[in-house]
């Protein structure tokens, strides 16, 4: 399929007319997709007829009518963050209220764990930590309660506080977004 790209000179402003031979301010460049997503300029040897699809709106009517072309589907590009999944296998018991450094897996007291996976990135505030459904803390496969008074509390974007004793052999799993 050949596409026509309409181009105007940088001096053209809204409302300008297309000018004729000798003072051209508009041109059409014909291109094709080369299969890699790159548009490549092509030369046409025959006459070409083109139409410009126009959009007309009726006064006080919310929908639009398109004239001169087929109606295209609306495409909405959604950016979905990647979810990281990190496991911490407890090798030395974590006490109640001990802070867990998610970078190392070690606690602020005697707790120690072995980390498997990338360091999760938590939100920047305790409120976002508690309310973000993409951030999940699981203890032995069961979802824990996040937030003040819950099983785990936010301390920083790289550490949490456990409000429960974690025994050796338990597995703490943290699912979090790769970016916010």
Based on the fold, state whether residues 169 and 88 are members of the same structural domain: yes
- Distance of alpha carbon 94 from its chain centroid, rounded? 35
User: What is the phi/psi pair of residue 84, to 5°?
Assistant: -90, 155
- On whether both 121 and 145 belong to a single domain, the answer is yes
- Same domain? For 48 and 90 the reply is no
Structural domain total, the chain: 2
Domain that holds residue 57: 2-67
Same domain, 15 and 42: yes
Backbone angles phi, psi at 63, to 5 degrees: -95, 160
Within this chain, do residues 103 and 36 fall inside the same structural domain, yes or no?
no
Structure tokens at 93: 């018991």
In this structure, the answer to whether residues 19 and 97 fall within a common structural domain is: no
62: alpha, beta or left? (left if phi > 0; alpha if psi -120 to 50)? alpha
Pairing status of strand 2-8 against strand 26-33: antiparallel
Q: What three-state secondary structure class fits 94?
A: strand
Tell me, yes or no, whether 46 lies in a domain: yes
- Give domain status of residue 78, yes or no: no
Residue 74, token pair as written in the block: 């609306």
Asked if the structure places residue 75 within a domain, the reply is no
Residues 61 and 88 in one domain: no
Task: Read off the tokens for 103.
Answer: 């970078």
123 found inside a domain = yes
In tens digits, the chain (180 residues) has pLDDT values of: 788 888 888 888 888 888 888 888 888 888 988 888 888 999 888 887 777 776 665 555 555 556 665 655 666 666 677 889 999 999 999 999 999 999 999 999 999 999 999 999 999 999 999 999 889 999 999 999 999 889 999 999 999 999 999 999 999 999 998 877
Q: Do 168 and 100 reside in the same domain of the chain?
A: yes
């Amino acid at each position: 399929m050949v596409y026509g790209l309409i181009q105007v000179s940088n001096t053209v402003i809204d409302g300008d007319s297309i000018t004729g031979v000798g003072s051209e301010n508009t041109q059409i460049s014909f291109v094709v997709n080369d299969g890699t997503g790159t548009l490549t300029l092509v030369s046409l040897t025959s006459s070409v007829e083109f139409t410009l699809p126009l959009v007309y709106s009726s006064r006080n009517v919310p929908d639009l009518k398109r004239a001169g072309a087929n109606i295209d589907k609306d495409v909405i590009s959604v950016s979905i963050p990647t979810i990281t999944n990190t496991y911490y296998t407890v090798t030395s018991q974590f006490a109640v209220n001990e802070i867990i450094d998610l970078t190392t897996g070690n606690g602020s007291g005697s707790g120690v764990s072995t980390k498997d996976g990338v360091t999760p990135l938590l939100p920047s505030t305790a409120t976002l930590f508690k309310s973000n459904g993409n951030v999940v803390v699981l203890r032995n496969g069961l979802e824990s309660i996040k937030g003040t008074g819950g099983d785990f509390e936010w301390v920083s974007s790289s550490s949490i506080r456990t409000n429960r004793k974690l025994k050796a052999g338990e597995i703490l799993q943290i699912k979090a977004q790769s970016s916010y």
